[in-house]
Structure 1
Amino acid sequence: MLNQTLKSLTLAALLAGSAIAASAQEYTIRATANSNEQDEDYDGLVVFKNYVEAASNGAIAVELFIGTQLCGNGAECLQGVADGTIDVFISTSGGAAGIFPYVQVLDLPYLMSDDRIAEHVLSGDFTRKLRDMALEDSGGAIRLMTIGNTGGWRNFANTQRRVVDPQDLAGLKMRTVVADLPQELTRTLGASPTPIPWPELFTSLQTGVVEGTANGITDIMSMKFPDAGLKYLTLDGHAYMGAFWWMSNEKFMAMPEDMRRIVVDGFSALQQATFASPKRKSIEAYQQFLAEGGDLYVPSPEQKAAFKEAAAPVYDWFTTNVGRGEEALTAFTAAVEAAQAEVDAARAADIN
């Protein structure tokens, strides 16, 4: 009898708690990512949803739309954020370049040396600087919440030969996105840029329409590019694959301060999740690449320096041709220098 009573009371409490949580819900955040449930973006959104809903005690509900349910590409999705039909959207730099061209600053090659530097830079005032620029250029409509990661680091991969130095890229037909900077970098290094939509890349590699691409290992393996003939991968790590998380500024600012704080903390948790996810996933991906006969090459410091020297003209191109490019690059290089100094000091302290 007592056990039955306790069970009844427990069930009643759970139901009451659910009813309170449901009745207390005041805000709904509609978040979308044009990816899939195996992607780092999804990992980040799951962490964000869990944190925000728990920390707000049910006052905020987060609805996830993975794929193209709400919108099909970066320009369309960002327009949805500006219009208020979408609350949160994640884009690559290429996906946002049509509206905020200066976010391509993260695609400038060989400016950040490793994960510690990148994570330090993207967790600080540089992201706030880009936020201010985006708010200004969108008329206060689109707010950059954080920058995470979506796939690790970009590396050169191709179907033809091992790439040891910049000269080995000469003449290769390299797939790029439609954004200007990746195409200019490809040309600067002597290869031939060929803009190809992501869903068409497998077939394009298979048929020789393109001979190479610049992607992270997790994307390469999840898309099964080795089956299309992609065999050679050079770990030059020329660009960090930043993930830009945008939010409707109207939706964000309509919340009271305590709710905004929870959302901000939720994006911090999301950022940490996306920093970590590619590191774990890449371990198995590299093993799989080698097991399938892939050729993996790690350039020496001298060879990486040669790549950076060969790519140097693209910095001048960026500041000259990209709107507010000089402003973004100045902020970025200052943040990288500060991060490098702080991380170097921490390393010195920890090894002595």
Structure 2
Amino acid sequence: MFNKFTKTAIAAALGATVLTAPMAAWAADFTIRATANSNETDEDYDGLVVFKNYVESASNGKIAVELFIGTQLCATGAECLEGVAEGSIDVYISTSGGAAGIFPYVQVLDLPYLMADDRVAEAVLTGDFTRKMRDMALETSDGTVRLMTIGNTGGWRNFANTQRRVTKPADLEGLKIRTVEADLPQELTRTLGASPTPIPWPELFTSLQTGVVEGTKNGITDIMGMKFPDAGLQYLTLDGHAYMGALWWMNNEAFLGMPEDMRRVVVDGFAELQQATFASPKRKSIEAYKAFVAGGGDLYVPTPEEKAAFAEAAAPVQDWFIANVDGGEEILGALKASVAEVEAEFAAQYERDLK
């Protein structure tokens, strides 16, 4: 097993792309090895830089954070989570689809139309719902993998395609929509009448270009970052069917092996990271939407009635989730209860704030 937390001068060995807080350089008592299978333009990297800076500074150099961006330590969700469980990786960020093979109930974040907007989603994910999912993950992993927080990685999933404007569920019928390997996105696509086609992310541009698939379910920053309009992706419907949650995992032994004051620093660091990942897609999406339209893209915003029609058509996916996912009913109940609580709180705030 990889021995993660050691008394060593690690910060000086960090790569040129990693920002180092001055106090962390030579006297760290603990080292956190954190990885994200993304790049330095991604929200995940933004969050890690904030986390690193905060933790190294707030710990007065007792904790050093070492960043590995890309696939240096691991290449897939299953491989990376295994590394976290075994202790060769301390911190890893996954999508719900990337973690579904080990923690299938995290796909609850992909259930469509349960959270209305950023404000609701962010309030839910900073509350007890995340703690509930943490407890379930610790039980599933026999106490080895700890969910630290849930941030965002790309805004909201929307339907985009190469063929036509989509204003109602019937417009999706027959379209070959790219999904990840996870069951729930495929079931959603099938329920709405489209044909789910699992395609690895690196192959999606060519698959769109050649017609292997005709659409995808992604946020605008991913669409523009990967230059999908150049592959023919010209129709984007902002139905916002799923919040693109980023699940931040940590080796539980490594976390509990620190004294309480250092654990508090790490927890606060993840809170800072979460806020950074909430904010980053909002800013980046502004220019991304402008670029999409400027390039000839068709951007459609459904009316409330049209969005309700999408939600009604997708409702059977919740029943599928309960019937087919271990822990599905438990985690879906927790999410719905949290959303209801948040929405009631916001309604009371509007009563005061709008007068």
RMSD between aligned residues: 1.1
1:157 pairs, out of 160, 167, 170, with: 160
Q: Which runs of 5+ in 1 are unaligned?
A: 1-17
What aligned pairs does 1:219-230 form with structure 2 within 5 A after superposition? Answer: 219-230=222-233
1:45 pairs, out of 41, 48, 59, with: 48
2:62 corresponds in structure 1 to: 59
Measure, in 1, the Cα distance between the counterparts of 2:244 and 2:200: 17
Query: 1:348: how far off?
Result: 2.5
2:333 corresponds in structure 1 to: 330
2:131 corresponds in structure 1 to: 128
1:287 corresponds in structure 2 to: 290
For the structure 1 residues 278 and 144, does the alpha-carbon distance in structure 2 shift closer, same or farther, using more than 3 Å as the test? same
Query: 1:23: how far off?
Result: 5.0
* Number of aligned positions between the proteins: 335
1:79 corresponds in structure 2 to: 82
Which aligned segments of 4 or more residues in structure 1 are displaced greater than 3 angstroms? 18-24
1:199 pairs with 2:202:
yes
Query: 1:347: how far off?
Result: 2.4
Normalization by structure 2: what TM-score?
0.93
1:175 pairs, out of 158, 167, 178, with: 178
Normalization by structure 1: what TM-score?
0.94
What aligned pairs does 1:159-308 form with structure 2 within 5 A after superposition? Answer: 159-308=162-311
Report the secondary structure of 1:200's partner residue: helix
1:139 pairs with 2:116:
no
1:99 pairs with 2:86:
no
Measure, in 2, the Cα distance between the counterparts of 1:158 and 1:32: 32
Measure, in 1, the Cα distance between the counterparts of 2:24 and 2:38: 30
What is the CA deviation profile of residues 158-197 of structure 1, one whole-angstrom value per residue up to 9, with x for unaligned ones? 0000000000000000000000000000000000000000
For the structure 1 residues 19 and 143, does the alpha-carbon distance in structure 2 shift closer, same or farther, using more than 3 Å as the test? closer
Fraction of identical pairs, as percent:
79
Measure, in 1, the Cα distance between the counterparts of 2:217 and 2:285: 15
Report the secondary structure of 1:68's partner residue: coil
For the structure 1 residues 22 and 212, does the alpha-carbon distance in structure 2 shift closer, same or farther, using more than 3 Å as the test? closer
Measure, in 2, the Cα distance between the counterparts of 1:344 and 1:228: 43
Structure number with larger C-alpha Rg: 1
Measure, in 2, the Cα distance between the counterparts of 1:22 and 1:102: 40
What aligned pairs does 1:308-319 form with structure 2 within 5 A after superposition? Answer: 308-319=311-322
Conservation of the 8 A alpha-carbon contact between 2:152 and 2:277:
yes
Measure, in 1, the Cα distance between the counterparts of 2:25 and 2:299: 52
Structure in which a larger fraction of residues adopt helix: 1
Measure, in 1, the Cα distance between the counterparts of 2:109 and 2:195: 21
Whichever residue aligns with residue 214 of structure 2, its letter is: E
Measure, in 2, the Cα distance between the counterparts of 1:133 and 1:54: 32
